[in-house]
């Protein structure tokens, strides 16, 4: 069973068996990358996030703290939590993506008997969906 929940600008599809914190963090990162949030824009408070997503406030707090630690969010006293500029990749980030997540993707693609071209097409389609309109026209 999946639930699709809108919280301000991002979408969360709750999937059973995956930690909710990880799902919230991923949904937020996806919203930041796709331009649904702009740098400097106010991010929902822990209380608002928990209420809108119908999750425990401690879970929402963990997700927000994780996003702050990864430099996706910043705390501005008197303003609240705001979206930061896209953080520069840390040393090892690319290697981690290529080793762990791509391996998982390839294994799943092979499991469902998707050929390499089909996988590349799917990646290209998803890449295009996440690009901001100005990035697409700048090509």
pLDDT tens figures, 15-45 = 888 899 999 999 999 889 888 888 999 999 9
Domain annotation covers residue 51: yes
The domain containing residue 124 runs over which residues? 93-137
| Same domain flag for 46 and 101 | no
| Same domain flag for 116 and 73 | no
In total, how many domains does the chain have?
A: 2
Domain boundary among 45, 62, 83: 83
pTM confidence score: 0.69
| Same domain flag for 75 and 12 | yes
| Same domain flag for 16 and 71 | yes
| Same domain flag for 79 and 19 | yes
Interatomic CA distance for residues 31 and 125, integer angstroms: 17
Note the pLDDT of residue 9. 58
Domain annotation covers residue 68: yes
| 38-73: burial string, b at 16+ Cβ within 10 Å, e else | eeeeebbebeebbeebebeeebbebbbebbeeeebb
| Same domain flag for 25 and 73 | yes
| Same domain flag for 57 and 98 | no
Domain annotation covers residue 88: no
pLDDT 10s digits, 82-107: 999 998 888 877 787 778 788 889 99
Interatomic CA distance for residues 87 and 82, integer angstroms: 13
pLDDT class for 8, splitting at 50, 70, 90?
low
| Same domain flag for 47 and 100 | no
pLDDT at 112 over 90: yes
Note the pLDDT of residue 100. 79
pLDDT 10s digits, 56-83: 999 999 999 999 999 999 999 988 999 9
Question: What is the end-to-end Cα distance of the chain in Å, rounded?
Answer: 39
Continuous segment of H or E residues that includes residue 26: helix 20-33
| Same domain flag for 41 and 75 | yes
Note the pLDDT of residue 5. 42
């Amino acid at each position: 069973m999946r639930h699709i929940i809108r919280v301000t600008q991002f979408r969360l599809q709750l999937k059973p068996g995956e930690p909710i914190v990880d799902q919230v963090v991923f949904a937020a990162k996806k919203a930041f990358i796709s331009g649904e949030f702009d740098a400097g824009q106010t991010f929902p408070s822990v209380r608002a996030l928990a209420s809108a997503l119908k999750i425990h406030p401690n879970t929402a707090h963990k997700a927000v703290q994780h996003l702050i630690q990864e430099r996706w969010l910043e705390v501005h006293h008197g303003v609240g939590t705001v979206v930061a500029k896209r953080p520069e990749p840390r040393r090892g980030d690319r290697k981690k993506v290529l080793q762990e997540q791509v391996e998982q993707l390839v294994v799943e693609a092979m499991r469902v008997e998707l050929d390499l071209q089909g996988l590349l097409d799917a990646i290209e389609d998803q890449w295009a969906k996440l690009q901001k309109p100005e990035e697409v026209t700048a090509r």
